[in-house]
Amino acid sequence: GSRFEGVTSGPPDPYYELLEAFEADTSDTKVNLWVRAYRVELQPFVLNVVKKAEKLMLEKGEDKEYLPMDGLAEFNKVTAELLFGANNPVIQEGRVATVQALSGTGALHLAAAFIHGNFPNAKALISSPTWSNHKTIFDDAKVPYSEYRHYDPISKQLDFDGMIADIKAAPHGSFVLLHGCAHNPTGMDPTPDQWGKIADIIQEKNHIPFFDVAYQGFASGNLDADAYAVRLFVERGLELLVAQSYGKNLGLYGERIGAINIVCSSSETAVRVKSQLKWLIRPEYSNPPLHGARIVANVVGDPALFNEWKQEVELISRRLKSLRQRLFESLSCKDRSGRDWSFIVKENGIFSLIGLNKAQIDNMRNKWHVYMIKDGRMSLGGLSLSQCEYLADAIRDSFH
Ligand code: PMP
């Protein structure tokens, strides 16, 4: 017998199940609404600036020796500048502990482990709904969490009053996880005015904001505008955490490049905080991978490439908006149910919660070959303009 006889199976990965079913489906009208990457007309997409940066890197002939525990210094510098703005006093005063991480997931995980180790009694507060991995990450790090209302599925709007009430009701000093922009899965972000009120409550309750910024640039098309919330909270003088990912906005999914930034009230504290992050990294993977960090350093650190990237991000955001517009028009023009589909064009980023129940999601899949995850989240990243009409027919049919 095997020494591993007693090992039980882990829970099945719902994405993997969908991938297999989708691959096996021979219908030529099948639609992939679960893919987590942004694609262009069904094709995986590599940004031009990434190709250019890689060419430069090859020409330079850089070596492959280890990075320090906290990653590539040039990367850490530019990633904090991209987030906070290069002239932000927190950067100039050396008050940010920035550490390269294994994309957004690794950044969140490092932060959760940091919270567990240094704030053993703290609780986290996460949005309802949220990206499912947030729960897995906090569970794994043994940080207890509860949820705050974020979204009203009936009106398909931000449940702002619920959000404020729940943040207010949480124990003082909770870590409040906020999606910096392009909320996953609802696509609904607070307005600037609402962000101000959220900051008020967080200050009043002495909470610690913990931003997840996985889509900077995808909401408005502008990298600075999408950092509005983070910068507002920093301007208020709050100490906070920010996880960053270059998966989406530079299309570096598989390179696993991101960062965790912890803004502290003094540079001395930032040094100590950074040393704690390094000691979490040491036994886990010792030091992070080079390639993605070099790409980011070359793109964000070079004025010409940085400008070109801004244009590419704007194009992606515009294309996502045109997909939303096409889907909205296709749904509205033939639908006689009186249902208001305008939420689709009001949302930001690549996700939308269309509000289908399980039976309707099954109908989408079995009758129309449209595949989506079971919370009914649509990812527009895997949709082509020419599929919008067909998808609208599938949605209308499934709702009736
Ligand atoms: N946070 C949110 C809200 C996300 O949607 C994602 C990507 N699905 C991530 C973090 C992290 O992704 P990655 O680890 O690929 O950077």
10 Å Cβ neighbour count for 17? Answer: 11
Contact by Cβ (8 Å): 56, 274: no
pLDDT of residue 399: 87
From the candidates 131, 309, 341, 368, give the one annotated as an active-site residue.
131
Q: Is the CB of 129 under 6 A from ligand 1?
A: no
Tell how far the Cα of 399 is from the centroid of ligand 1, in angstroms.
Answer: 30
pLDDT of residue 11: 86
Q: Is the CB of 245 under 6 A from ligand 1?
A: yes
User: Could you read off the pLDDT of 32-58 as tens digits, one per residue?
Assistant: 999 889 998 889 999 999 999 999 999
Q: Is the pLDDT of residue 269 over 90?
A: yes
- CA–CA gap between residue 231 and residue 296 (Å, rounded): 21
Q: Is the CB of 135 under 6 A from ligand 1?
A: no
- 340: annotated active-site residue: no
Of 134, 133, 116, 117, the C-alpha closest to 125 is 134
Could you tell me the two tokens for 82? Answer: 């991209």
Is the model's pTM score more than 0.90? yes
Give the position, in ligand 1's atom list, of the atom nearest the Cα of 246. Answer: 16
pLDDT of residue 202: 98
